[in-house]
A and B are shown apart, each in its own frame.
Chain A
């Protein structure tokens, strides 16, 4: 499994990348592999306030829907509009073009509560 070193990870398989006061969010390679073919992504509206640990997006595979939880609290400032017509980007490039949204974090120190790459890797082995 691909687990980039420069990201933080939530136990619910989202990744978070700090970009100044902003946090970019997507799902991990492991998650996209488990979900298989992503056929639809329901994203929050830009401007929506979201709270760490709350469901804020939905990923649909052929067979099932999966909730995506906010890794940090804040306001959604950008969503990946490419996913509307190309949801398969989540499978093809889960850490880059397949990102979900960017949050203006209310408190970037919340990132410290997320897992390191090594700790996330351990949860996958368990």
Chain B
């Protein structure tokens, strides 16, 4: 039995094709992945990301608790600031990646849809009695407005000025036409473009979606969301990261604040000192499309596996992330086994795509 977001009827009206994702029935595309991808890179598009999970963490010791549960430094976050971080298990494996939003008196944690129950259980299991955790996922919708025109489009609907909102900052906006009981507007996203993520109470989610649609914003599905995030080399839990992959292996060492205690620190410190056995590698192919599960091959030997692969609508060639058993320099020639054919590939710099600022 799959779950539907409050925007499900809107997707049906737009003749979306649906896919099951993490237990959710989500739109994979409305028109084509290619056209939705290009809309986000050149104008703007919107995604229903209401399947994402939202927790509120409060209590007077919530900062110290959160610092123990994630790899980043949460004590320096100021109200209105957000940070990407990771929850590790005792072995240093990534239970989930999440964005933490620091509010005046509490934190909003935004976690992956497929990990909501696992994350909530893990946090509940470790929290002291004077820290409070509430799962508000069922009450909150999330619309991601992404692309270079996002600010101009959204500004028409919001009384506050958006040009002063920095990347990874957020506030509670005042809309011109709707009055949601809960709203948080953040300059964040999962596409590699400028854009916003709008957390909004379910009762006004449809109104916001329809207003954006009326402004000419192109609805985009999970298909384009995946190609966009992969071009930008943003990891996806279940692919580049999972409970058996550490942040160092996933090239997420930049997110670690070592000068504190946190769960998993000992294991990854050991790895930090003794070195890695597996390395995140970005490759591209001129012919053929590399996909998840395909072997990465050098001189006839499988030396790794692809975790995410696609045709890149921006670069017009195959791109993939995967893990290899040695660290390969950019330019290394290798092969990928695609549909029983060995196709030439090359190690490239991450990310595949970076927007011009």
Chain A nearest CB: distance from B18 CB in Å? 13
Contact of B33 with A40 in the complex, beta carbons under 8 Å: no
| Residues 32-64 of B at the A interface (beta carbon under 8 Å) | 32-34, 37
Do B33 and A62 have beta carbons less than 8 Å apart? Answer: yes
What are the residues of chain B within 8 A of A58 when measuring CB–CB? 339
The residue in chain A whose Cβ has the minimal distance to the Cβ of B28 is: A63
Please tell me if the beta carbons of A62 and B227 are within 8 angstroms of each other in the complex: yes
B357 part of interface (Cβ distance < 8 Å): no
Which residues between 28 and 65 of chain A lie within 8 Å of chain B, taking CB atoms? 36-37, 39-40, 42, 58, 60-65
Residue of B nearest to A88 (CB): B34
Residues of A within 8 A of B226 (CB): 63
Select one of B32, B223, B288 contacting A42, CB under 8 A.
B288
Closest A residue to B288 by CB, please name it: A40
Contact B33 A60 (CB under 8 A): no
Contact for B223 among A39, A62, A65, CB less than 8 A: A62
Q: Which of B1-47 contact A (CB under 8 A)?
A: 28-29, 32-34, 37
Residue ID in chain A nearest B313 by CB atoms: A62
Interchain CB contact under 8 A, A40 and B34 = no
- In the assembled complex, which residues on chain A have CB atoms less than 8 Å from the CB atom of B34? 36-37, 39, 62
Interface size on A, residues (CB 8 A): 12
> A62 contacts B341, CB within 8 Å?
no
Q: Is B291 an interface residue (CB 8 A)?
A: yes
Give chain A's interface secondary structure class. Answer: strand
Report the separation of the CA atoms of residues A37 and B227 in the bound assembly, to the nearest whole angstrom: 13
Determine the chain B residues whose CB is within 8 A of the CB of A64 once the complex forms: 291
Shortest CB distance A87–B (Å): 10
* Contact indicator per residue, chain B 315-346, by CB within 8 Å of chain A (1) or not (0): 00010000000000000000000110100000
With most chain B CB atoms within 10 A of its CB, the pick from A36, A64, A65 is A36
B311 near A: Cβ within 8 Å?
yes
| Residues of the A chain whose Cβ atoms lie less than 8 Å from the Cβ of B311 | 39-40, 60-62
A63 B288 Cβ-Cβ under 8 A: no
Query: Is A60 in contact with B29, judged by CB distance below 8 angstroms?
Result: no
Choose one: A37, A60, A62; the contact of B288 (CB below 8 Å). A60
B341 A42 Cβ-Cβ under 8 A: yes
CB-nearest residue of chain B to A87: B311
> Considering the chains assembled together, what is the distance between the CA atoms of A65 and B32 in angstroms?
16
A residues less than 8 Å from B318 (CB atoms): 40
B139 contacts partner chain A, Cβ-Cβ < 8 Å:
no
From 1 to 48 in chain A, residues with beta carbon under 8 angstroms from any chain B beta carbon are 36-37, 39-40, 42
Contacts of B288 in A (CB 8 A): 40, 42, 60
A and B contact pairs by CB, cutoff 8 A, 10 listed: A36-B32, A37-B34, A39-B289, A40-B318, A42-B341, A61-B311, A62-B227, A62-B311, A62-B313, A64-B291
Query: Which residues of chain A have a CB within 8 Å of any CB of chain B?
Result: 36-37, 39-40, 42, 58, 60-65
Q: What 5 new A-B contacts, CB under 8 Å, besides A36-B34, A40-B288, A40-B311?
A: A37-B32, A42-B288, A42-B341, A62-B223, A63-B28
- Top 5 nearest A-B pairs (CB, nearest first) are A39-B311, A37-B34, A62-B33, A60-B289, A58-B339
